[in-house]
Structure 1
Amino acid sequence: MIRFGYKASAEQFAPAELLKYGVLAEELGFDSVFVSDHFQPWRHDGGHAPAALPWLGALAARTERVLVGTSVLTPTFRYHPAVIAQAFATLGCLAPGRAILGVGSGESLNEVPLGLAWPDGKERFARLKESVQLIQRLWSEDRVTYEGQFYRTENATIYDKPATPVPVYIGASGPAATRLAGRIADGFITTSGKGHALYTDTLLPAVREGAEKAGRKVDDLDLLIEVKVSFDDDHHRAHQDTRHWGALALSPEEKTGVEDPIEMQRLSDALPVERTATRWIVSSDPDEHIARVAEYLDMGFQHLVFHAPGPDQERFLRLYAERILPELRARG
């Protein structure tokens, strides 16, 4: 099944405004609404960081059809995995068949300001794997006593659980975590704009390899990609809108060790718009835009979640629903 979703930009909009956009996305025919779970945004001025857990509950109450979930939440530092298991079991009860838990290994921007130590990638990966396995056990068993490397429980029980466990999607941009998604998760999440070879030669083969090692079929997983799009009739406007998200164009070396939104904003604002636009499909031509987005369908992704950078999200949602989604659905 091909799905098209909306990325609710929690780092850009206040909670009530963001909720309005999530509800509108359902009204306009989008299939899903995903939100990130940041403790701090990418920029200080004009930045926001509503908590994903209560926000998703409000969205679930205001909608009837769309899938709702995180892209992504880190269940390893600020949260104990058992707390996330409880929260998403509750969401699954409130919105049966519509909740998705998308998880990742995290970013120091969200954890270091709380006084938490930020370990290397090997430990973050190990924590992610252990947390997902513990969450899945808490959903499938009663009175779970668990003694892991990083987490432990003693006769822990999640009392209110949906009839069907909430799907877990693992977000990754490297082969190890992608193989993990293939082995133990219900879906895989990644982001666009990083060069086609990364997807076709590294990530998609890795998720397939992981699935096959676990005796699973990759077709049983939801392959989700968050597609960065800046579409508008005014090409100049579409180009300039990418400035707010300049942090996405910073290299890993440029933002490693930066945990302060003020400093992240300074680094981002120093970039020319020609560089901030590189992570986005920037277009004012519907045919060109559809062709570029459809490349991800051709690669094998089945669930495209669209993230637009501009301040007028209602304009984007209506334009996209009218001029882009119908053609994409026809192709899908």
Structure 2
Amino acid sequence: MGSATRIGWFLAHEEWQPERLVEQGRAAEAAGFEALLVSDHLQPWVDEGGAAGFGWATLGALATATRTATVMSAAVCPLFRMHPVLVAQAAATVSRLAGGRFELGVGMGQAINEAPLVGPLPPYRERMARMAEALDVMGPLLRGEGVEGHDGFYPVSAMRLHSPPPAPVPIHLAASGPRSAAVAGRLADGVITSVKDPARTRREVVDVARAAARAAGRPSPRVILTCFLVFARDEEEAFAALRPWRGMRTPRRLVESDPARLRRDAEALGREEVLARFPRYDDPGRVAELCRRVVEEVEPDVLALQVASPDGLVAIERLGGALGLRG
């Protein structure tokens, strides 16, 4: 594994209840994982078998339950459910509790999480304009500076955070394609993306973000990759592990706000089609080889495994051992 890449573990609120995630976070740190990425969901992908704890509470608990691992949101949306100032306040608080180990990952939201409160999401152009403005509000606050007053989508009077972070909190923007990757390079400290095809991820996201940063005279953005896989012995075990995830790769996942309808969409696809949409591994050595290939091809700063498994603690122990993280 490349010495510059830290291997992380993704803690998914969609799959596990928050108390289990804190337990898994402690176990992952003990197993040698150096970063803990935490999802933020108002609702799960299906209405049966999933979970959806409040991400900021879990992040605060992890901040005090761990000692060395970087803790990161991956990713919260500062555009609809929470005002950017409140996101900055929450990030600063978690950073203080974690002794400066927190990094803020932000994204433009998903219908399953935002639409129940705000209705249909606006077009991409507006969401990106909102994000640029949100970054303009959060950045100074997370550097311990003040905001002198701000109009637009998020009006703010002159203010500062009175419990500021102990050090500036890096902000990473989630991107699945070149448009968002370019914005991440210009405006954020890093880019977060999910990797399926390493060559495509590098070409369409990572290289675009790096080029945009160079053009803007900014430092090269940090690259945080997540890699989703199923760790199970056979198809029966895999399908059980995917119970909370069935709706995530259905045709309407980007626009649907009702987990019950996403479950029905998954049921209409059928068991074999659901299984075909998620890569399954039963050998920890093959997962280690996958990680080596991604690191060699993309050269990320962080590669976090997002693992659906019948037993999260067993998966952490076996995969951490295969990756040689404690050695």
Q: CA deviation at 1:227?
A: 0.6
Residue number in structure 2 paired with 1:91? 94
1:243·1:269 contact (CA, 8 Å) conserved in 2? no
Deviation at 1:329, TM superposition (A): 8.9
Q: Distance in 1 between matches of 2:285 and 2:94?
A: 38
Distance apart, 1:3 and its partner CA:
0.7
Q: CA RMSD in A?
A: 2.1
Aligned length: 322
CA displacement, residues 139-172 of structure 1 (integer Å, 9 cap, x when unaligned): 3464423334311111111111123211111111
Assess if the C-alpha contact under 8 Å between 1:238 and 1:283 holds in 2: no
Counterpart of 1:198? Answer: 200
Partner of 1:308: 307
Helix, strand or coil: the match of 2:242? Answer: helix
Take 2:307 and 2:97, find their aligned partners in 1: how far apart are those partners? 28
Q: 1:246–1:271: 8 Å Cα contact kept in structure 2?
A: no
Code of the residue aligned with 1:288 in structure 2: it is R
Q: Provide the rounded CA distance (Å) in 2 between the counterparts of 1:148 and 1:278.
A: 47
**Contact 1:249–1:275 (CA under 8 A) maintained in structure 2:** no
Larger mean Cα displacement after TM superposition, 43-52 or 254-263:
254-263
Aligned-partner residue type, residue 80 of structure 2:
F
Alignment partners' CA distance in 2, 1:318 and 1:329: 11
**TM-score under structure 1 length normalisation:** 0.90
Kindly provide the amino acid, as one letter, of the partner of residue 162 in structure 1.
P
Partner residue, 1:262? 260
CA distance in 1, matches of 2:46, 2:75: 18
Which residue number corresponds to residue 293 of structure 1?
Answer: 291
CA distance in 1 between counterparts of 2:105 and 2:247 reads 22
CA contact (8 A) 2:238 2:309 kept: no
TM-score norm. by structure 2 comes to 0.91
Alpha-carbon separation, structure 1, partners of 2:326 and 2:275: 26
Evaluate the alpha carbon distance shift between residue 201 and residue 273 of structure 1 in structure 2; reply closer, same or farther with a 3 A threshold: farther
Gaps of 5+ in 2: none
Structure 1 position 37, deviation (Å) = 0.9
Cα contact 2:49–2:244 (8 A) shared by 1: no
- Which of 161, 166, 176 aligns to 1:163? It is 166
Deviation at 1:257, TM superposition (A): 2.8
Instruction: Structure 1: give runs of 5+ residues left out of the alignment.
Output: none
Compute the displacement of 1:270 (Å): 2.8
Name the counterpart of 2:213. Answer: 211
Go from structure 1 to structure 2 and tell me whether the alpha carbon gap of 1:14 and 1:322 turns closer, same or farther (over 3 Å shift): same
Amino acid at match of 2:289: A
Shift of 1:90: 1.3
Greater relative CO (CA pairs within 8 A, separation 6+): 2
